């Protein structure tokens, strides 16, 4: 005779008596009492102050010449797709563009080593404006997000999905990214005749 196979029961639960069961004595039952909120101990919720640059969904501080903060991976993907960064930005926005690069992004490019020396050489170009960072550490994503929360005059150029997800939560900040070997812009208002995607 063969053995009978026993299968494991994965979602097996112990039977628990409900607190309203008649078999439980009244003194053993736990009663949950809802506490009424004390009006003196109300918590104050802080709502972030809306920027004065925003008029509904339009950011009035955006206009030519456009100020574009460039991320590390945006430079790397531009090199892989053989795109000149400044010229491609101008082709995308039909206006003069000034690319900005923060000290954190420069630090990341220097940390990446000799494999990314072409990207570092492009970042040191005189057409790129340098933005000094006053915070500790060189994590560029946090630096860029904090800078665009303070000043709404920037467009962020990045191909990083996590950073793009964080920037989308900040109202009035367009995102430039690379798709199909050219630059595209996301969330750009139509107020200044910018190309729609």
Cα(133)–Cα(143) distance, integer angstroms:
8
Name 68's bridge partners: 99, 155
| Closest by Cα among 157, 136, 153 to 52 | 153
pLDDT > 80? residue 87: yes
**Greatest mean pLDDT range, 47-51, 136-140, 167-171:** 167-171
CATH number at residue 151: 3.40.50.1010
pLDDT given at position 20: 73
Give the residue with greater pLDDT, 136 vs 166.
166
- The tens digit of pLDDT for each residue in 142-174 reads 999 999 998 889 999 999 999 999 999 988 899
For residue 118, tell me if it sits in a domain: yes
| Secondary structure of residue 31 in the 3-state scheme | coil
pLDDT given at position 134: 85
For residue 163, tell me if it sits in a domain: yes
pLDDT given at position 29: 65
Judge whether 62 and 93 are in contact, CB under 8 Å.
no
* 55, containing H or E segment: strand 54-55
| pTM strictly above 0.85 | no
Q: Is 19 exposed, middle or buried (0-12, 13-18, 19+ CB in 10 A)?
A: exposed
For residue 158, tell me if it sits in a domain: yes
pLDDT given at position 167: 93
pLDDT given at position 23: 77
Mean pLDDT, all residues of the chain? 83
For residue 17, tell me if it sits in a domain: no
Domain total for the chain?
1
pLDDT > 60? residue 191: no
Name 175's bridge partners: 156, 186
Q: Containing domain of residue 144, as a range? A: 68-186
Which band of pLDDT confidence, cut at 50, 70 and 90, is reported for residue 78? very high
Judge whether 133 and 102 are in contact, CB under 8 Å.
yes
For residue 102, tell me if it sits in a domain: yes
For residue 73, tell me if it sits in a domain: yes
């Amino acid at each position: 005779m063969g053995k009978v196979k026993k299968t494991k029961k994965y979602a097996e639960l112990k039977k628990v008596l409900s607190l309203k069961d008649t078999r439980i004595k009244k003194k053993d039952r736990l009663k949950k009492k809802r506490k009424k909120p004390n009006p003196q101990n109300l918590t104050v919720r802080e709502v972030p102050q809306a920027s004065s640059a925003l008029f509904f969904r339009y950011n009035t501080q955006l206009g030519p010449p456009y100020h574009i903060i460039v991320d590390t991976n945006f430079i790397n993907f531009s090199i892989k797709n053989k795109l000149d960064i400044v010229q491609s930005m101008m082709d995308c926005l039909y206006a003069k563009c000034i690319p900005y690069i923060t000290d954190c992004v420069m630090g990341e490019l220097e940390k990446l080593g000799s494999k990314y020396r072409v990207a570092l050489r492009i970042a040191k170009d005189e057409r790129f404006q340098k933005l000094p960072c006053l915070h500790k550490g060189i994590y560029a994503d946090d630096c860029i997000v904090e800078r665009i929360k303070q000043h709404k005059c920037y467009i962020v150029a990045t191909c990083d999905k996590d950073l793009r997800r964080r920037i989308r939560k900040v109202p009035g900040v367009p995102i430039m990214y690379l798709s199909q070997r050219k630059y595209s812009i996301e969330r750009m208002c139509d107020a200044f005749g910018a190309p729609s995607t």
